[in-house]
């Protein structure tokens, strides 16, 4: 009996030690997992038929860390771009880790944007939004860099862009969610601006872009200041998609209110993520997202550095 008690105690001690090691490793992101992952069909990849009558948009977030992961993700985007005929790329914030840029002449504009996203491979506009790490530096420098670059587009911390595909208008609204997520900032003004812009829009397809997600199963999750304000505007104005980064993973979530949440924040860093009741797809994988719109046909596709992960047709 004594030997059995000793063995039981040793096994219990080892189990506690292993659990403690796992918790430490998970906390420090030494272990990257997708919790609660459900089996889904990968879907059929859409094909670009006529670039002049389609809208093609690449999404990548949290690219500001010079890592092997970023090199691999951008290389995968470069390969995909050859057949995707992109009209633009969206950079979903945290463009420069850890503390933004110091001035409009900061060399990181060259090392972390112009060189990484070389113009020969990506000769189209980059619609850029601000993330929380960008606020560690001079965010106005990122706005002013628009005047120096042929591709970097951020005329203000919030702005809108319209694309016309035939007689179909697609409006993109870029907002500064750092102001909304932090109560001591100008969150109400930011929301008022978006409300006014959406009220004025007669577009057939509306996309809102901001760094912080309103729905997420990732480590950060959704900030209460975002979830208590932004979703109501998205629902009221019949927004189709809300695009975010911040959580370092890939996600597609259903709000149940007519709009979908895309998270594409694994451009240079990676963290674990979790499937929730609102999850359509989620993966803790380095990668990016691609949106293709052709008339009333709309596809969302996620790619890792090695392969296509998931495609779904959304909307009509």
Q: Residue ranges of the alpha helices (H) in the chain?
A: 2-27, 68-84, 108-109, 139-144, 177-181, 187-200, 224-227, 230-236
* C-alpha span between 19 and 156 (Å, rounded): 48
Please write the tens of the pLDDT for every residue from 236-261. Answer: 999 999 999 999 999 999 999 999 99
Asked if residue 90 has pLDDT above 70, the reply is yes
The domain limits of the chain are 1-31, 38-314
Work out the pLDDT band at 16, boundaries 50, 70, 90.
confident
Would you say domain 38-314 falls under CATH 3.60.21.10? yes
Asked if residue 214 has pLDDT above 90, the reply is yes
Please write the tens of the pLDDT for every residue from 172-205. Answer: 999 999 999 998 778 999 999 999 999 999 999 9
DSSP state of 146: G
* C-alpha span between 313 and 308 (Å, rounded): 15
Work out the pLDDT band at 315, boundaries 50, 70, 90.
confident
pLDDT at 184: 78
How far, CA to CA in Å, does 235 sit from each of 105, 195, 208, 242, 272?
Answer: 40, 11, 12, 11, 29
Please write the tens of the pLDDT for every residue from 91-126. Answer: 999 999 999 999 999 999 999 999 999 999 999 999
């Amino acid at each position: 009996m004594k030997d059995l008690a000793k063995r039981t105690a040793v096994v219990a001690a080892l189990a506690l030690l292993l659990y403690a090691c796992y918790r430490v490793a998970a906390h420090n992101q030494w272990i990257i997992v997708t919790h609660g992952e459900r089996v889904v069909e990968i879907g059929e990849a859409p094909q670009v038929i006529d670039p002049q009558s389609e809208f093609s948009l690449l999404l990548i977030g949290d690219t500001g860390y010079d890592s092997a992961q970023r090199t691999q993700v951008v290389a995968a985007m470069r390969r995909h771009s050859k057949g995707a005929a992109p009209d633009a790329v969206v950079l979903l914030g945290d463009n420069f880790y850890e503390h933004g840029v110091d001035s409009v002449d900061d060399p990181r504009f060259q090392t972390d944007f112009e060189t990484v996203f070389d113009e020969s491979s990506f000769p189209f506009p980059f619609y850029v939004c601000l993330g929380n790490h960008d606020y560690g530096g001079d965010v106005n420098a990122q706005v002013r860099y628009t005047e120096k670059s042929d591709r970097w587009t951020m005329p203000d911390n919030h702005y809108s862009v319209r694309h016309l595909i035939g007689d179909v208008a697609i409006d993109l609204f870029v907002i500064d969610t750092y102001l909304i997520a932090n109560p001591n900032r100008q969150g109400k003004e930011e929301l008022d601006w978006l409300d006014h812009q959406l009220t004025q829009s007669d577009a057939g397809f509306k996309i809102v872009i901001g760094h912080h997600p309103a729905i997420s199963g990732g480590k950060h999750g959704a900030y209460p200041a975002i979830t208590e304000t932004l979703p109501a505007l998205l629902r009221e104005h019949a927004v189709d998609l809300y695009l975010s980064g911040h959580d370092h993973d890939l996600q597609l979530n259903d709000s149940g209110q007519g709009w979908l949440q895309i998270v594409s924040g694994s451009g240079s860093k990676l963290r674990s993520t979790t499937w929730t009741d609102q999850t359509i797809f989620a993966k803790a994988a380095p990668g990016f997202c691609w949106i293709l719109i052709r008339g009333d046909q709309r596809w969302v596709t996620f790619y890792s550095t090695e392969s296509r992960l998931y495609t779904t047709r959304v909307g009509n």
